[in-house]
Amino acid sequence: MRAKKLLLCLLLCIVLIAGCLASSAVTVSAQADAAGGKNPADFSWDNATVYFLLTDRFENGNPDNDHAYGRTLDAEGQPLEGWNTAGATFHGGDFAGITKKIEEGYFTDLGVNAIWLSAPYEQIHGYCQGDDGGSYVHYAYHGYYALDYTETDKNFGTKEEFQKLVDTAHAHGIRIIMDVVMNHPGYNTVQDMEEFDYGTLKNNYQSLFYKLDGIRNYHNYIDYNTNAQDWAKWWGPDWIRVGAPGIAGYIYSSGDLEGSLESLPDFKTESTDKVAIPPLLVTKWWQEGTYSEKMEKYPSTATVSDYLVMWLAEWVEEFGIDGFRCDTAKHVELASWKKLKEACTQALRTWKDNNPDKALDDLDFWMTGENWGQGVEDNAYYTEGGFDSMINFSIQQGGGLPAVENLDALYTSYAQNINTKENFNVLSYLSSHDTTLNRQDAIYNGSAFLLLPGAVQIYYGDESNRPWVPSSQAKGDHRLRGDMNWNSLDTDALSHWQKVGTFRDRHIAVGAGAHTKVESSSGYAFTRMYDKDGISDKIAACISARPLTDVTIEVSSIFADETVLTNAYTGAKCVVQDGKATVNSGEKGTILLEAHQAGSYTLGDVNENGNIEIEDVLLMQRHIAKTEVLTDTAFSAADIDANGTVTVEDTLQLQKYLAKQKVDFDIGKIFA
């Protein structure tokens, strides 16, 4: 008995110490859990919050794959100094790292319901010379220089690790969007030319190996125009046009559809001619010992677009990919995009039929595309190309979001032009991997952007103020693609984005509803209403109000008198009287009003203030010590393991959750 008492005291001490250690962590939104506190089947792409990340730059979960194919190793097989800080090399991020962050709840805490991953398939192995004429090495860490669509890139991980990533995301109510390129493969690099025996290399080309910078006259080591037979062993002239005139045996062209983009080879996707598997892949598959298996799997001849569609759709049918973001959409004819959409729609249906326990819903495959410069416009990409959405460039190209006094014009326009049309939506963004990072005001952006009508895309680090890469370390676009700033998160900004993001995720009305500006005593206030396909939702919000001020908002159009409302941002409650709701704006001047569900509770939010924090642990401890009694919903919120009692084990589970460790219970989930 004495030993048991000592053990209990020791556990309580551990909890208190852990509480002190965890108290500096970012406050987690009350509704953040494995399923986002909502039924994943209630998801709509019209209200999607998409998180775009570059796999290589996000999180390193498996250091064993950091130097696949000999990338950034010296002649002795040792890592080159500075390999993971150079501006355009692989830095170690991988599928395992993303899976880890999903399991920790990072995306759920942010209200993210779809992750857009950079292309996972195998990239060219070698490096190009800096794309701005610089002397640095440029590897395909970003996923836009394809080599083999049938394999994962080993720097990112194995197919098994990719499957675990997708399955883990689905288990957390998160869809997976894959970045894909049908316009072009990767450049010819000296390493790939040597490894796969194509093209003509000149003497001393090996002097280019084992470097990170100081690259001079890269193309002087390549003979482009002498031996057509050597160059035919690359993709072959039936497959591609080349990115510069003069490569033996190939043609060069121009124009949006048949020209080269950034001197990259251009796939002949418009061709109706049947072609064989490209010589490059025949060589590669023989070397890997997969040739016979793959030649049985794929047809011996098909059109270029048929092969590409087949290989990309295979990712959907094998892994359960929910959607594609299609790169350089304007450079591929609409008929090929339509073909891709139809093939992937069938592939996803097949996967869902074969995996009913993993499928989140019965939605069809989703596709968004990049047509550089396009805004909110309904055009042939939707009707002839099969796209469900297109990237909206207008916010960033317009210099970011307007000031709050001009925000209603944007909200009204978007709600009217997006949410009143069937089969039309856009994916809006603030920051991009190609243009700039918006770091003007993380708090205002977190409110104004995440409450935007239509679907929205967070670029990794928008929520944490990830900085630009210094110009001394990287050039051009590579400055936008730094490592995720896990060690320097702006926790104030992150907490704000989490609260607004989870509110958006819970309420389809935010992105997909009808918008109306309403009167308020401070700040900019509005309502959103959604009623479609048997789903009804309504919210009111006010942003940029005076901090720590009681703000009165006109809500009579959506909430009846005596309705109890909760400010989801702070947890404060109010009652509608005379058509108005009065609630404190909190430190950030942000009010997010939703109808309070009587009798509901959030697992772990013992004091019912809208946050899960160390104070909840202390309340549980006082209940265990019999200095305070928890009842009703407070008791239910404290009974983490749902066994009818509140014990030390419950406090330990909550502490693990606050410390971002994996727990076995749905902490943060709303229960009725």
Which residues are identified as catalytic?
Answer: 327, 370
Q: How far apart are CA 532 and CA 527, in angstroms?
A: 17
Q: Look at residues 500, 495, 491, 636 and name the one whose alpha carbon lies nearest to residue 567.
A: 500
Q: Look at residues 51, 75, 55 and name the one whose alpha carbon lies nearest to residue 66.
A: 55
Q: Is 76 helix (H, G, I), strand (E, B) or coil?
A: coil
Q: How far apart are CA 236 and CA 188, in angstroms?
A: 12
Could you tell me which residues are beta bridge partners of residue 455? 427
Q: How far apart are CA 642 and CA 633, in angstroms?
A: 12
Token pair recorded at residue 133:
């004429």
623, 649 Cβ separation under 8 angstroms: no
Helix axes 334-354, 304-319, angle to 10 degrees: 30
Cα separations (Å) of 630 from 7, 371, 610, 625, 658? Answer: 24, 57, 17, 12, 21
Q: Look at residues 416, 408, 417 and name the one whose alpha carbon lies nearest to residue 451.
A: 408
DSSP designation for 49 = E
Q: Look at residues 242, 241, 238, 240 and name the one whose alpha carbon lies nearest to residue 222.
A: 242
DSSP designation for 427 = E
Cα separations (Å) of 637 from 476, 633, 649? Answer: 50, 6, 14
- Contact residues for 398 (Cβ-Cβ < 8 A; gap 6+): none
Q: How far apart are the first and last CA of the chain?
A: 39
Question: What is the residue whose two structure tokens read 């009167």?
Answer: 519
618, 19 Cβ separation under 8 angstroms: yes
Determine if residue 66 is left, alpha or beta; phi over 0 gives left, psi from -120 to 50 gives alpha, anything else beta.
Answer: alpha
Q: How far apart are CA 635 and CA 538, in angstroms?
A: 29
Q: How far apart are CA 390 and CA 370, in angstroms?
A: 6
528, 510 Cβ separation under 8 angstroms: yes
DSSP designation for 175 = E
327, 181 Cβ separation under 8 angstroms: yes
Q: Look at residues 451, 436, 369 and name the one whose alpha carbon lies nearest to residue 399.
A: 436
